[in-house]
């Protein structure tokens, strides 16, 4: 309900991440969004929520430098399939690209990716991370998936508002141009 009152996907995402982390005990949540330069590739939004004062600094740094094309990484898997993904042992999953070429420890064991569906497909991906190995919990994944669906409605509403504002601006310009042309003739 609170997310539905948000003015942006990022604001709604942060509220949803915080609620999921609190209710599930997963200590970190993150929002990925399409890259403005190439909307087929997803990147960090910079929106993170962590619990217990843990900042997950290495994971944040690696994520900031990672791009997720469709099918690549947990984010890319979610974008490609439009379905939630659960990695019970993320660091040993060959598709967890953030662990590749890393000499240090990301400090996580399990990861979840949830799609935020919109009119045009997946508009964002919610990620959650745990330091412990978490076996797949289909019921939890199903319930968490409904949060992504709700955020999709927020994303659609925000996009519709932008389209209405852009249309109003175009109409205003047409009226101004028409008035100037009428006065000039």
> Is 60 exceeded by the pLDDT of residue 49?
yes
> Is 60 exceeded by the pLDDT of residue 169?
no
> Is 90 exceeded by the pLDDT of residue 173?
no
The helix/strand/coil state of 68 is strand
The pLDDT, as a whole number, for residue 133 is 94
Residue partners of 68: CB distance under 8 A and separation at least 6 = 32, 41, 42, 43, 75, 76, 79, 97, 125
Average pLDDT over residues 87-98: 91
The pLDDT, as a whole number, for residue 171 is 62
Please state, in angstroms and rounded to a whole number, the distance separating the CA atoms of residues 71 and 173: 42
Q: Name the pTM for this structure.
A: 0.80
Average pLDDT over residues 75-79: 96
Residue-wise DSSP of 6-56? -SSHHHHHHHHHHHHHHHH---EEEEEEEETTEEEEEEEEEEEEESTT---
Q: What is the pLDDT of residues 105-125, one digit of tens each?
A: 888 999 999 999 888 889 999
């Amino acid at each position: 309900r609170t997310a539905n009152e948000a003015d942006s996907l990022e604001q709604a995402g942060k509220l949803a991440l915080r609620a999921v982390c609190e209710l599930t005990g997963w200590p970190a949540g993150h929002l990925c969004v399409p890259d403005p330069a190439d909307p087929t590739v997803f990147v960090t939004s910079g929106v993170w929520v962590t619990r217990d004062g843990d900042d997950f600094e290495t994971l944040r740094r690696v994520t900031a430098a990672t791009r997720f094309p469709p099918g690549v990484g947990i984010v890319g898997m979610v974008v490609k399939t439009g379905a939630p993904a659960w990695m019970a042992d993320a660091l040993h999953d060959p598709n967890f690209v953030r662990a590749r070429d890393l000499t240090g420890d990301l400090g996580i064991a399990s990861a979840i990716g949830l799609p935020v569906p919109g009119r045009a497909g997946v508009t964002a991906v919610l990620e959650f991370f745990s330091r412990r190995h978490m076996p797949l919990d289909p019921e939890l994944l199903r319930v968490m998936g409904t949060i992504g669906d709700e955020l999709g409605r927020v994303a659609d509403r925000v996009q519709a508002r932008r389209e209405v504002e852009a249309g109003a601006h175009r109409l205003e310009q047409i009226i101004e141009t028409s008035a100037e042309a009428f006065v000039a003739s």
